[in-house]
């Protein structure tokens, strides 16, 4: 069970702070149910979810694990999506997002960027499907890493982008 003050990953909402754990007024009655009151890190909404929710909830990655993933980012094997149609691609990207792990998010970001290396290097825009899923993966990963590492989201973004720039330069030179 999570405690008030903890940071958790809650499904597609990403990083949330557990504000309260208990029985809210709307759950009072014959069979009162305990809820988490969650506050998403980069939103003003409040989420109420039963403590026995079926939605994935996990603790934020540890600082050591986040650092390890960053150090080994260049070695992560990206997926080859070069021969995929848009519908299949969207399904594959969505499946990766639903894995809810930082390693899978990093692989997705790397895969999309390496697949579109020439587009990115020439400062053109990605297609809508790639752009949509890249943005979602970046938001989820950068927010979680910022909490885990005590950095700003912009700092995390810069670290990942520098690693990607280096990988794309290597690919362009080979």
Q: What is the pTM of this model?
A: 0.89
Determine the distance from the C-alpha atom of residue 79 to the mean position of all C-alpha atoms in its chain, rounded to a whole number: 17
Q: Mean of the pLDDT values across residues 29-51?
A: 90
Per-residue model confidence (pLDDT) at position 28:
66
For β-strands 57-59 and 7-10, DSSP reports them as: antiparallel
CA angle 125, 102, 154 (to 5 degrees): 55
Comparing 9-13, 37-41, 79-83, the range with the smallest average pLDDT is 79-83
Extended strands (E) in 6-118: 7-10, 14-22, 35-40, 47-50, 57-59
* pLDDT range class, residue 9, cuts 50, 70, 90: very high
DSSP assignment letter at 17: E
> What confidence category does residue 121 fall into, taking pLDDT thresholds of 50, 70 and 90?
low
Mean pLDDT rounded to a whole number for the chain: 90
**Domain 63-173, CATH among 1.20.58, 3.30.70, 1.10.1060, 1.20.120:** 1.20.58
The residue length of the chain stands at: 174
Q: Residue 55 region, left (φ>0) first, then alpha (ψ -120 to 50), else beta? A: beta
């Amino acid at each position: 069970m999570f405690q008030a003050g903890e940071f958790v990953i809650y499904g597609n909402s990403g990083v949330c702070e557990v504000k309260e754990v208990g029985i809210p007024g709307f759950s009072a009655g014959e069979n009162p149910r305990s809820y988490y009151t969650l506050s998403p890190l980069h939103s003003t909404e409040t989420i109420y979810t039963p403590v026995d929710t079926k939605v994935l909830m996990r603790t934020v990655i540890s600082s050591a694990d986040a650092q390890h993933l960053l150090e080994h980012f260049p070695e992560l094997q990206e997926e080859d999506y070069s021969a995929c149609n848009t519908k299949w691609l969207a399904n594959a990207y969505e499946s990766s997002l639903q894995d809810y792990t930082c390693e899978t998010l990093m692989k997705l970001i790397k895969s999309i960027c390496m697949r579109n290396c020439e587009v990115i290097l020439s400062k053109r825009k990605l297609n809508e499907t790639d752009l949509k899923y890249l943005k979602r993966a970046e938001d989820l990963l950068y927010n979680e890493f910022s909490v885990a590492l005590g950095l700003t989201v912009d700092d995390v973004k810069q670290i990942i982008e520098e690693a990607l720039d280096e990988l794309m330069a290597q690919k362009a030179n080979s």
